[in-house]
């Protein structure tokens, strides 16, 4: 029965495989395997986006690329996250095989890292979609990488493995917004071709942050040492407090409009490697205490700094295009 089910899955997905235990080779020339695939190219820059954990599997700890429920959830998250850039960039986003939330119910970042690398199907999906994107869709345009949470775990592999193997592509990267997952000093030292952002204007850099309350308690699977962080309002690593009045705008939780100024303040805590927020109530916390404890705003970081993310990506893109023109 398993073999029959696997063959049926392959047929429906429009993919190829040489055996039940081998990697399924999904066809990324098929629109059905993309969460976002622009019909027309409107802008001079692209966004390549990997969504966070949206898998809710009943009988497994994974969701296949073509899982209907995962795809519906991914479409909803797209509006809350990468749509922040939709008025400045062409949004490309593949579906990919990912883990269910249940697998992360432990407070061990190192174990999570190892588990991420065991998802060979998901990594293959992402690399295959990148191959197709660069070979058939990108046409030499500069691009921005954007991701959140589980998507960011795989984006770090894209940066350290895929981009290292393809320096021609990497040289055309405006920036990588790798949010909601630790980018550590150790990771950067192991990958000297990568660098973390130092200001609001530099290009070819990684931008990363997560956020919590002043009184956060309990376990946190993301907690690790040497975590890099940037202020999502000023885009510096300075620990100066920045009030919510400086926040350019937050997306309200019903996704019906922008709240201006934004509702979240921001203060970098370098020791914890995280942004501290003091202006939100508990309703903004992610309701997963077995994974994040209490006081984590992990699930809302895109929405809280929605307009600042757009403004910063636009600024970095303008700088990148200017430098590219000068080099020509």
Residue 60 above 80 pLDDT?
no
Instruction: Kindly state whether residue 26 falls inside one of the protein's structural domains.
Output: no
CA distances from 188 to 83, 148, 156, 246, 261 (A): 28, 18, 10, 30, 34
Average pLDDT over residues 269-280: 97
Residue 272 domain-assigned (yes or no): yes
Residue 328 has pLDDT above 50, yes or no: no
Residue 7 lies inside a defined structural domain of this protein: no
- Yes or no: say if 187 and 176 are a contact pair by the CB < 8 Å rule: no
Query: In whole numbers, what is the pLDDT of the chain averaged over residues?
Result: 91
Residue 316 lies in a domain: yes
CA neighbor of 155 nearest in space, from 133, 202, 123: 123
Within a domain: 24: no
CA triplet 245, 284, 151: central angle to 5 degrees?
100
SS3 174: strand
What would the pLDDT profile of 79-126 be if each residue is shown by its tens digit?
Answer: 999 999 999 999 999 999 999 988 887 778 888 888 889 999 999 999
Q: How confident is the model at residue 316 (pLDDT cuts 50, 70, 90)?
A: very high
pTM for the model stands at: 0.92
Domain membership of residue 116 (yes or no) is: yes
* Residue 93 near residue 34 (C-beta atoms within 8 A): yes
Distance CA 54, CA 299 (A): 11
User: Angle at CA 71, nearest 5°, toward 65 and 75?
Assistant: 135
Q: Is the pLDDT of residue 25 over 80?
A: yes
Confidence class for position 307, pLDDT limits 50, 70, 90 = very high
Q: Count Cβ atoms below 10 Å from residue 233 Cβ, excluding itself.
A: 26
Domain holding 205, by residue range, is 33-327
For 129-155, what is the mean pLDDT? 97
Structural domains counted in the chain? 1
Edge to edge, the sheet with strand 294-296 lists 267-269, 274-277, 211-217, 294-296
Q: Is residue 13 part of a domain?
A: no
Report d(CA 223, CA 216) in Å as an integer.
12
- Report how far Cα 152 is from the mean position of its chain's Cα atoms: 4
Assigned token pair, 288: 């997963």
How far from 133 is each of 35, 94, 136, 144, CA to CA, in Å? 13, 9, 6, 13
Q: Is residue 12 part of a domain?
A: no
Percent over 90 (pLDDT), the chain: 82
């Amino acid at each position: 029965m398993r073999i029959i089910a696997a063959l049926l899955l392959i047929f429906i997905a429009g993919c190829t495989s040489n055996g039940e235990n081998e990697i399924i080779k999904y066809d990324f020339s098929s629109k059905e395997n993309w969460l976002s695939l622009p019909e027309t190219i409107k802008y001079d820059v692209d966004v390549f986006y990997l969504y966070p954990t949206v898998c809710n599997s009943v009988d497994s700890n994974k969701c296949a690329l073509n899982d209907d429920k995962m795809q519906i959830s991914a479409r909803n998250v797209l509006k809350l996250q990468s749509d922040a850039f939709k008025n400045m960039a062409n949004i490309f986003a593949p579906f990919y095989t990912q883990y269910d939330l249940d697998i992360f119910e432990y407070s061990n970042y190192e174990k999570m890292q190892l588990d991420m690398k065991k998802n060979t199907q998901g990594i293959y999906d992402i690399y295959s979609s990148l191959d197709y994107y660069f070979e058939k869709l990108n046409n030499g345009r500069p691009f921005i990488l954007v991701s959140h949470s589980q998507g960011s775990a795989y984006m770090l592999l894209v940066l350290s493995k895929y981009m290292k193997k393809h320096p021609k592509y990497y040289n055309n990267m405006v920036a990588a917004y790798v949010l909601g997952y630790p980018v550590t000093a150790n990771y950067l030292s192991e990958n000297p071709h990568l660098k973390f952002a130092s200001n609001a204007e530099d290009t070819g850099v990684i931008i990363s942050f997560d956020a919590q309350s002043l009184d956060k308690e309990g376990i946190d699977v993301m907690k690790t040492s040497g975590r890099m962080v940037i202020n999502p309002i000023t885009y510096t690593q300075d620990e100066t407090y920045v009030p919510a009045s400086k926040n350019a705008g937050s997306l309200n939780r019903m996704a019906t409009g922008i709240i201006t100024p934004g509702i979240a303040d921001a203060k970098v805590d370098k020791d914890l490697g995280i942004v501290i927020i003091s202006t939100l109530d508990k309703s903004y916390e992610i309701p997963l205490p077995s994974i994040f404890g209490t006081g984590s705003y992990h699930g809302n970081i895109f929405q809280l700094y929605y307009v600042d993310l757009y403004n910063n990506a636009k600024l970095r893109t303008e700088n990148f295009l200017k430098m590219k023109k000068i080099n020509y």
